[in-house]
């Protein structure tokens, strides 16, 4: 399979601070998505970003496929941003099979 | 459009029993994938169905099986439950183009 590493594993921020989450992967991919898992377990789609840069409000993401990494930026963090962030990739030619990273657990304190 | 739905949301079973979980994809999506999430192993791929055929399979024992119906709804079955099968089971659907995957709320299975 494909190895997906996320860093840092844990992050504690003061409300209003900015952060960068990183996802490294070991093979070429044709799909990369960032998810936020809410306290009830549902994975909320943040970005579909196999390459390039996207922004959605306070969140943005960049994937450099040739260097096999992706970054998720959270600006002006809020307590509601707390939770676990996952990066998931699909290896090129492997069909709809996600390989997930181990996640970054983010806690935003007021 | 309604999102991916999963039933039941919570389930408690005893070792040795079997269980069936259900997933209804987003309307028009024919691909349905299943994942298991545990604290120790994280999120792991179980299998994917497309147009009633299993297209991909992860590294799980044969006790884990699934099927897909003509309306794209999918079921997952686990026979002879073990304590280690306690997990959150998530299903996801995607369109034929296979770009973005959308996840359901999950079924939390507890085996006692």
Q: Tell whether A35 lies on the interface with B, counting CB pairs under 8 A.
A: yes
Q: Which residues of B touch A43 (CB under 8 A)?
A: 90, 92, 103
Cα gap B49→B34, rounded to integer Å: 9
What mean pLDDT do residues A41-55 have?
95
The pLDDT tens digits of the residues spanning B32-50 come to 999 999 999 999 999 999 9
Q: Is pLDDT of A6 > 90?
A: yes
The pLDDT tens digits of the residues spanning B77-103 come to 999 999 999 999 999 999 877 678 999
Q: Is pLDDT of B3 > 80?
A: yes
Cα-Cα end-to-end distance for chain A: 40
Nearest CB to B48; choose among A43, A96, A100: A96
Give me the pLDDT at residue A103, please.
Answer: 97
Decide if B45 and A95 are in contact by the 8 Å CB cutoff. no
DSSP 8-class letter at A75:
-
| B98: its two tokens | 């296979």
Give me the pLDDT at residue B96, please.
Answer: 77
Decide if A96 and B94 are in contact by the 8 Å CB cutoff. yes
DSSP 8-class letter at A42:
P
CA-nearest of B83, B98, B90, B4 to B51 is B98
Torsion sign, CA atoms B91, B95, B98, B100: negative
At residue B31, the 3 state secondary structure works out as strand
Give me the pLDDT at residue A96, please.
Answer: 77
In contact, B56 and A94? CB cutoff 8 Å? yes
The pLDDT tens digits of the residues spanning A16-31 come to 999 999 999 999 998 9
Cα gap B52→B74, rounded to integer Å: 9
| B79: its two tokens | 């026979």
| B83: its two tokens | 């304590």
Strands B19-24 and B74-78: antiparallel
What mean pLDDT do residues A74-93 have?
93
Least-confidence region, from A8-12, B37-41, B54-58, B97-101 = B97-101
Give me the pLDDT at residue B98, please.
Answer: 65
| A15: its two tokens | 């409300």
The pLDDT tens digits of the residues spanning B16-28 come to 999 999 999 999 9
Give me the pLDDT at residue B62, please.
Answer: 96
Give me the pLDDT at residue A51, please.
Answer: 95
Nearest CB to A42; choose among B94, B98, B103: B103
**DSSP-assigned states of every residue in A16-41:** T--EEEEEEESS-EEEEEEEEE-TTS
């Amino acid at each position: 399979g494909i190895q997906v590493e996320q860093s840092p594993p844990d992050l504690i921020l003061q409300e209003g601070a900015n952060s960068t989450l990183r996802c490294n992967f070991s093979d070429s991919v044709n799909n990369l998505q960032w998810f936020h898992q809410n306290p009830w377990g549902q994975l909320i789609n943040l970005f579909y970003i196999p390459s390039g840069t996207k922004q959605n409000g306070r969140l943005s993401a960049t994937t450099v496929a040739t260097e096999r990494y992706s970054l998720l930026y959270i600006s002006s963090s809020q307590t509601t941003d707390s939770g676990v962030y996952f990066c998931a990739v699909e290896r090129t030619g492997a069909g709809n099979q996600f390989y997930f990273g181990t996640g970054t657990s983010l806690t935003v304190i007021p | 459009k309604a999102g991916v739905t999963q039933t039941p949301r919570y389930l408690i079973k005893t070792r040795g029993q079997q269980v069936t979980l259900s997933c209804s994809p987003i309307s028009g999506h024919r691909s349905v994938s299943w994942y298991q999430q545990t604290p120790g192993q994280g999120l792991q791929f179980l299998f994917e169905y497309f147009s009633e055929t299993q297209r991909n399979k992860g590294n799980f024992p044969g006790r884990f099986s699934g099927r897909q119906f003509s309306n794209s709804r999918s079921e997952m079955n686990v026979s002879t439950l073990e304590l280690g099968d306690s997990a959150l089971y998530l299903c996801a659907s995607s369109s034929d183009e296979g770009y973005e995957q959308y996840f359901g709320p999950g079924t939390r299975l507890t085996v006692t």
